[in-house]
Amino acid sequence: MVAIGLSFLALNSEAASDDATAKPGLPQVLTFQLEDGGHRTSGLALSFALPGVIEYECQRIAFHTEIRNREIEIVLLNVEPVENLEGCRMAKVPAPVRERILLPPEIGNYRIVFARRERRDTYALAVTEGTVALEAVGSPTFTTCAETGKLMRVGLNWLWVDFLFVTDDSSRRMRTKRDEVLSALEAIGAKTFAPPPGRYLLDGFVRQIPSGPSSDRDAMEERFFLWEGDWERLRLLASRYQKHAAVATRRPVMILWLSGRDNVVSTSGGYLHSSAIERKRVEEVLKSPPSKPHSSGGEE
Amino acid sequence: MASWRLSPKPLPGPDHGGHPIVHIQPIPRLVFFPADRIRKQPTSDSRGFWLGTIYVVAAGQTVAHFTACGGPEKVDDSADRGHTIGRTPAGRYALGPRHHHVTPNWPNSSIPWGASIRRAANGEVEFDDGSGWKPATGDRAPMNTALIRSKTLLRQVPNMAEIRVKARNAFDINPDNPTGQLVTVWERNDFGIWAFNLRRGGKGTPYYVHTTPEDEIATAGGREFSLDQSHGCIHIRPKDRDTMMRKGYLTAGIVIEVNGYDAKGPP
């Protein structure tokens, strides 16, 4: 990830960047988040990124980690240009680079320490099969966690189905299609299920189950199932309803998300998205021997 | 002043049976306050981060509002990438029609969002935006042209052999570490699925209402995200874009007023 050997140089350049006229160094406050699911991780992860795309455009945080017993120390060094700097500068709004540290898969209690020069912020993390709890130890001086407290964890075989109709009119007119989707799910083996209500950590954000009324007054519905089958079948099912997700002024809309802890299939924007399938394809490619350079057709 | 339009559809309901219906709806206008909320206070060595709001006003009433993000409050010359970065200019504009935006100014935006992608027999990449397969890479193809232009904007001399490789790699499932496998649908256009130009005096401007590919991906994946500052365009959330399109707020000809950075909403 990041060379530890760079730390001396980085610390010195951070000192230089403290000059108000220089480009920003490490941010005054680092916001991090716990993540559960997604990102091909077997368990929990912790992630952080530089804030503000323009201010820190095409830069990333240099850091290294040290793990001793059940203490994970993250030493923040400086900001540095991203690896593919030229490619980044050619993107209109480059995505901030999110650094991700996998946490040990074993349940138990951990200490997470962020160190920045002489300052250290410590957090206590308690992980069980069904919950995760994070609390600051003392008063953090330069870090903040997006969500602290106790959160529930999503089961591996949970499948929740979100329908977004946008307007009440769409919701009424697409009721038959919604019922069709639910019946089709049951027909391929999905079993309806009611998860315990609570605040769940999912990916990097907290999802309230059941979700109350939509804050932006969109017409939405959510349903829950248990799913042990192949996600390819869910992708095929969603593809049948892709055409209903294209938004137009008069036509009713039904946008569909089929989400699990690690996978999602959706018809957002009128296109079929499938992180599960794409992830599988990427893994297959990564496992295969390196491909030859592209055929140049004699042009190079 | 409120404008009105005839609704193409009658309202459903018991009062309307058997009678000819003329239903009149007020034409909404959009009012954008680029800096009416602060996400990050400015400090001596870093600038603030402002979030804005688009209010929808119809018949003198605010009927809806959506979070939006304009350009930064201060122009940042140090972030020079060959493009300007700064405030969304205040003024009165009319929205242009929705379109999959294409421009040679940004390589990823040289191909329309949603185009099908495939490798041609000669090793180059082709795209189909619904009007047939066309070269995406190769001499004078859109990706190569945009890469050459970007290199020039970055004040670098383009190396044509390098451009050819980079152009093809841009379509790889992992462009930073190419695998040889191409994406099948183009979802990297910097303007998101749909863009709407801010037109002034009957002419287009360099400013658009649009989403970002990052936010489109997050939305498709059911993930939450925060809007980020644009370089001067107006960023909106994909879900809000869909809502605004469905309700007719993002329609060609709709007036959008952009306020200054010292103004606070609602209108």
Does residue A50 surpass a pLDDT of 50?
yes
Min Cα–Cα distance to chain A from B179, Å? 6
Q: Taking residues A282-296, what's their average pLDDT?
A: 43
Mark A159-173 as b/e (b = at least 16 C-beta within 10 Å). bbbbbbbbbebbbee
Does B261 contact A at CB distance below 8 Å? no
Alpha-carbon gap, residue A299 to A293, rounded angstroms: 13
Q: Can you tell me which residue has the tokens 């716990």? A: A34
For residue A56, what pLDDT band results from cuts at 50, 70 and 90? confident
Does A171 contact B at CB distance below 8 Å? no
Does B220 contact A at CB distance below 8 Å? yes
DSSP string, B105-168: TSGGGGS-TT-EEEE-TTS-EEEESSS-EEESSSTTSHHHHHHHHHHHHTT----HHHHHHHHH
For residue A54, what pLDDT band results from cuts at 50, 70 and 90? confident
More confident residue, B177 or A225: A225
More confident residue, A166 or A186: A186
For residue A204, what pLDDT band results from cuts at 50, 70 and 90? confident
Does residue B266 surpass a pLDDT of 60?
yes
* Subunit contact B245:A257, Cβ cutoff 8 A: no
Does B61 contact A at CB distance below 8 Å? no
Q: List, as ranges, residues 2-61 from A with C-beta within 8 Å of B.
A: 18, 20, 22-24, 27-28, 38, 51-55, 57
In chain B, CATH 2.40.440.10 covers 3-100+191-258
For residue A13, what pLDDT band results from cuts at 50, 70 and 90? very low
Alpha-carbon gap, residue B237 to A269, rounded angstroms: 12
Min Cα–Cα distance to chain B from A195, Å? 18
Alpha-carbon gap, residue A72 to B108, rounded angstroms: 39
Min Cα–Cα distance to chain B from A6, Å? 23
Min Cα–Cα distance to chain A from B202, Å? 24
Q: Taking residues A45-69, what's their average pLDDT?
A: 89
For residue B226, what pLDDT band results from cuts at 50, 70 and 90? confident
CB < 8 Å to A270, chain B: 193
Partner residue opposite B150 with nearest CB, options A24, A90, A249: A90
Chain A residue closest to B238 (CA)?
A269
Of B27, B53, B223, which to mutate for an interface test with A (greatest number of A Cβ within 10 Å)?
B223
For B48-81, the pLDDT digits (tens) are 678 899 999 999 999 999 999 999 877 665 555 7
Q: Taking residues A157-183, what's their average pLDDT?
A: 94
For B5-16, the pLDDT digits (tens) are 655 444 444 344
* Subunit contact B174:A268, Cβ cutoff 8 A: no
CB < 8 Å to A247, chain B: 242, 245-246
Fold observed for domain B3-100+191-258: L,D-transpeptidase catalytic domain-like (2.40.440)
For residue A4, what pLDDT band results from cuts at 50, 70 and 90? very low
Which token pair is A153?
A: 């964890």
How confident is the model at residue A160, as a pLDDT? 92
Alpha-carbon gap, residue A82 to A213, rounded angstroms: 41
More confident residue, A202 or B166: B166
In one letter, which amino acid is B6? L
Chain B residue closest to A166 (CA)?
B243
For residue B21, what pLDDT band results from cuts at 50, 70 and 90? low
| Mean pLDDT computed over every residue of chain A | 83
Min Cα–Cα distance to chain A from B193, Å? 7
Does B118 contact A at CB distance below 8 Å? no
% of chain A exceeding 70 in pLDDT: 80
Could you tell me the sign of the dihedral formed by the alpha carbons of B124, B128, B134, B136, in that order? negative
